[in-house]
């Protein structure tokens, strides 16, 4: 039997979740309930290489990860995509292993499961293998790090593999929506926010460019080795030092090649992307906080998005439960060089204009102290800290999270994360919204099919007019005086 619940019931369930999640958090077994500083072992070698060890004796395996501060943010237009191409070349021949065939054979001998990733502000490479093979695994990784051969044959073949990844990305219509927005949002340096890279740059890449990247970014004083699994910290550091201690340091690449600041938007911008989609979508994007300049705002951004995810939130009730939109979400991506904020909404063609209008209205209420309750705030903080604690459960995955925070924010930011999240207040969220969203320029991108656009007769100029109209209405409403009730005042005397 089913029944309809009053609209206020979702907030009851939010309050109930707080109690359940709080119990869960403090009942987590073993190391995961401890302060992470009691678990993580950190040392710096004489050559500047940092070493992080996460012991976990639950299974006799170990993961070795090399992380380098490299990625799209180091790339000019001429280098766009080459950090990603370099990542692929890491798993090829080197001075000890002559080619990829021998490379893969050695991996099989050591029982290695491997991968690598390239993002905006990090490149990482990781091997998971039996603990008994740790020393040999470190030697294998060291050879790949310091002496890649960059064989012409392997290099040209790997370009096609990278282009295949581009093909897969471009087959997703949302890739084109994000690209259309990002090209406007990061208008001065779009390459520095695009880790996939440009096809023409990848095709034109040279071995000399790979060697240049190795010389400048693949140096110990710009890198960290993480070892996680069935190891003793002191022994693991000694094993890393035995191999990587001989790695010659280099200049600080960010002093030699400083990353330029993305200039602020001079005005709001609009784009329409035509793709073969049945359901239109739109995204509004802003420049958000940089983690090293305003860490408090990054925590407020994280908490706010978890508030808005809750099905009982005004954001979800007014946009999704009202059936104006099929889905609505907010995101923030923590970065050292400006983390983007975005709101993404999917809606039917007939509702598109109204959905844009109402989404803007919701956004401009986010700093209102009545927009969410104390219960929703506490629920969001609890969900966020519980999720982060559970993310540490699988050590071979947790190591990747840790290397991301090492590269983007530094370890202290991550180690204090849960405590800082618990300290976020309603005022902190209002300050974040007022600083980075309200009255700030943004990019609005709409994705729909060619047929839908023709039916709606939608243009960028109309989008700009619609936005101006909504913002003017909001400004007028804010300027209206609050009604004064004399009888109410009399009753207070």
Would you say residue 262 lies in a domain? no
Same domain, 330 and 251: no
Q: In the 8-state DSSP scheme, what is residue 92?
A: S
Q: Is the pLDDT of residue 383 over 50?
A: yes
Using the 3D structure, point to which of 202, 222, 256 is the last residue of a domain: 256
Q: Is the pLDDT of residue 20 over 80?
A: no
- pLDDT for the residue 446: 98
State the Cα angle at 341 between 335 and 345, rounded to 5°. Answer: 140
Strands ordered across the beta sheet of 50-55: 41-44, 50-55, 223-229, 61-68, 123-130, 113-118
CA–CA gap between residue 9 and residue 165 (Å, rounded): 46
Digit-coded pLDDT (tens) for 344-358 = 999 999 999 999 999
**207 and 292, same domain (yes or no):** no
Gap between the Cα atoms of 467 and 470, Å rounded: 5
Per the domain annotation, does 146 fall within a domain? yes
Do 249 and 288 belong together in one domain?
A: no
Report residue 442's pLDDT band, with 50, 70 and 90 as the boundaries. very high
Instruction: For residue 389, name the pLDDT band (cuts at 50, 70, 90).
Output: confident
Residue-level pLDDT at 35: 74
Query: Could you tell me the two tokens for 197?
Result: 């890279």
For the domain that residue 72 is a member of, what is the CATH number? 3.30.830.10
pLDDT in tens, 149-186: 999 999 999 999 999 999 999 999 999 999 999 999 99
Neighbours of 169 (CB within 10 A): 14
Which of the 8 DSSP states describes residue 32?
G
Whether 10 shows a pLDDT value over 60: the answer reads no
- Nearest in space to 208 (alpha carbons), one of 118, 91, 79, 103: 79
In a domain, 453, yes or no: yes
Ranking 14-23, 152-161, 477-486 by mean pLDDT, the lowest is: 14-23
Cα(153)–Cα(137) distance, integer angstroms: 26
* Domain extent at residue 466: 269-479
| 489 is a domain residue | no
Give me the mean pLDDT over the 360-382 stretch.
97
Q: Please write the tens of the pLDDT for every residue from 224-266.
A: 999 999 999 999 999 999 999 999 999 999 999 999 999 999 9
pLDDT at 478: 79
Joined together, the tokens standing for residue 77 give: 């237009």
Same domain, 99 and 221: yes
- Taking the C-alpha atoms of residue 188 and residue 261, their distance in angstroms, rounded to an integer, is 9
pLDDT of residue 25: 34
233 and 334 fall within a common domain: no
Residue reference for tokens 């007019």: 465
pLDDT band at 1, cuts 50/70/90? very low
pLDDT at 481: 63
C-alpha angle 118/121/125, rounded to 5°? 40
73 in a structural domain: yes
Domain count, the chain: 2
In the predicted structure, residue 22 carries a pLDDT above the cut 50: no
* SS3 category, 305: helix
Listing DSSP states for 60-73 in one string gives: SEEEEEEEES-SGG
pLDDT digits (tens, 9 = 90+) for 204-216: 999 999 999 999 9
Q: Are 306 and 383 in contact (CB under 8 A)?
A: yes
pLDDT in tens, 392-413: 888 988 999 999 999 999 999 9
How far apart are the C-alpha atoms of 200 and 347, rounded to whole Å? 35
pLDDT for the residue numbered 34: 53
Is the pLDDT assigned to residue 11 strictly greater than 80? no
Q: What integer pLDDT is reported at residue 268 of this predicted model?
A: 98
What is the structure's pLDDT at 316? 98
Last-in-domain residue among 213, 229, 256: 256
Across all residues in the chain, what is the average pLDDT? 91
Q: Give yes or no: residues 193 and 53 share one domain.
A: yes
- What per-residue confidence (pLDDT) applies to 29? 32
- 375 with 466, same domain: the answer is yes
48 pLDDT exceeds 80? yes
Mean pLDDT value across residues 367-372: 96
- d(C-alpha 196, C-alpha 18), whole Å: 40
> Tokens 């109930």 appear where?
16
482: confidence class by pLDDT, cuts 50, 70, 90: low
Of residues 446, 477, 480, 476, the one with CA closest to residue 463:
446
C-alpha neighbours within 13 Å on the C-beta side of residue 256 = 10
At 284-333, the pLDDT tens digits run 999 999 999 999 999 999 999 999 999 999 999 999 999 999 999 999 99
Do both 228 and 342 map to the same domain? no
The stretch 448-460 carries a mean pLDDT of 97
- Co-location of 251 and 274 in the same domain: no
C-alpha pair distances (Å), 327 with each of 131, 281, 308: 45, 9, 12
The reply to whether 230 and 121 lie within a common domain is yes
Q: Is the pLDDT of residue 125 over 90?
A: yes
Residue 277 within any structural domain of the chain:
yes
Tell whether 92 is covered by a domain: yes
pLDDT in tens, 422-433: 999 999 999 999
Q: How confident is the model at residue 9 (pLDDT cuts 50, 70, 90)?
A: very low
Tell me, yes or no, whether 278 and 345 share the same domain.
yes
Q: Measuring CA to CA, which residue among 52, 40, 103 is closest to residue 223?
A: 52
Among 190, 225, 256, the domain boundary falls at: 256
128 plus 242 within the same structural domain: yes
Give CA–CA dist 366/319, Å, rounded. 14
Q: What is the mean pLDDT of residues 98-118?
A: 96
As beta bridge partners, residue 345 has 282, 328
* Whole-number percent of the chain with pLDDT over 70: 90
Span of 387-396, 437-446, 462-471 with lowest mean pLDDT: 387-396
Q: What is the DSSP-derived secondary structure letter of residue 342?
A: E
334 token code pair: 């923590």
**Is residue 16 in some structural domain?**
no
């Amino acid at each position: 039997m089913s029944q309809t619940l009053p609209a206020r019931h979702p907030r009851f369930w939010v309050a109930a979740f707080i109690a359940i999640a709080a119990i869960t958090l403090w009942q987590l077994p073993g190391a995961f309930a401890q302060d992470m500083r009691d678990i993580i072992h950190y040392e710096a070698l004489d050559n500047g290489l940092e070493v992080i060890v996460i012991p976990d004796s639950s299974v006799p395996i170990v993961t070795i990860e090399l992380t380098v501060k490299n990625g799209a943010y180091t790339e000019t237009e001429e280098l766009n995509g080459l950090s990603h191409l370099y990542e692929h070349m890491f798993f090829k021949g080197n001075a000890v292993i002559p080619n990829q065939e021998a490379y893969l054979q050695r991996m099989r001998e050591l029982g290695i499961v491997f991968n690598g990733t390239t993002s905006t502000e990090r490149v990482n490479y990781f091997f998971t293998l039996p603990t008994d093979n740790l020393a040999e695994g470190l030697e294998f990784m060291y050879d790949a790090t310091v002496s890649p051969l960059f064989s012409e044959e392997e290099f040209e073949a790997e370009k096609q593999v990278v282009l295949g990844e581009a093909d897969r990305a471009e087959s997703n219509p949302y890739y084109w929506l994000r690209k259309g927005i990002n090209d406007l949002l990061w208008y001065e340096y779009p390459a520095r926010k695009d880790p996939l890279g440009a096809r023409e740059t990848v095709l034109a890449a040279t071995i000399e460019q790979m060697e240049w990247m190795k010389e400048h970014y693949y140096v110990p004083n710009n890198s960290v080795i993480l070892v996680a699994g069935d190891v003793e910290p002191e022994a693991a550091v000694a094993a890393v030092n035995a191999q990587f201690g001989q790695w010659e340091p280099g200049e600080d690449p960010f002093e030699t090649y400083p990353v330029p600041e993305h200039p602020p938007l001079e005005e709001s911008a609009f784009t329409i992307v035509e793709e073969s989609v049945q359901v239109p979508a739109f995204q509004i994007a802003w420049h958000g906080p940089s983690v090293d300049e305003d860490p408090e705002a990054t925590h407020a951004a994280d908490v706010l998005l978890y508030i808005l995810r809750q099905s009982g939130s005004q954001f979800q009730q007014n946009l999704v439960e009202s059936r104006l939109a099929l889905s609505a979400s907010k995101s923030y991506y923590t970065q050292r060089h400006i983390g983007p904020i975005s709101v993404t909404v999917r809606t039917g063609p007939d509702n598109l204009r109204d959905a844009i209008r109402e989404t803007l209205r919701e956004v401009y209420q986010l700093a209102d102290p009545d927009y969410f309750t104390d219960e929703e705030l506490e629920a969001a903080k609890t969900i966020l800290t519980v999720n982060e604690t559970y993310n540490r459960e699988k050590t071979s995955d947790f190591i990747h999270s840790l290397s991301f925070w090492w590269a983007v924010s530094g370890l202290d930011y991550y180690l204090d994360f849960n405590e800082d999240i618990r300290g976020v207040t309603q005022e902190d969220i209002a300050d974040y919204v007022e600083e980075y969203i309200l009255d700030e320029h943004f990019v609005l991108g709409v994705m729909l099919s060619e047929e839908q656009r023709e039916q709606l007769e939608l243009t960028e100029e109309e989008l700009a007019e619609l936005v101006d109209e909504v913002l003017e209405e909001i400004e007028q409403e804010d300027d209206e005086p609050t009604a004064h009730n004399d009888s109410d005042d009399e009753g207070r005397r």
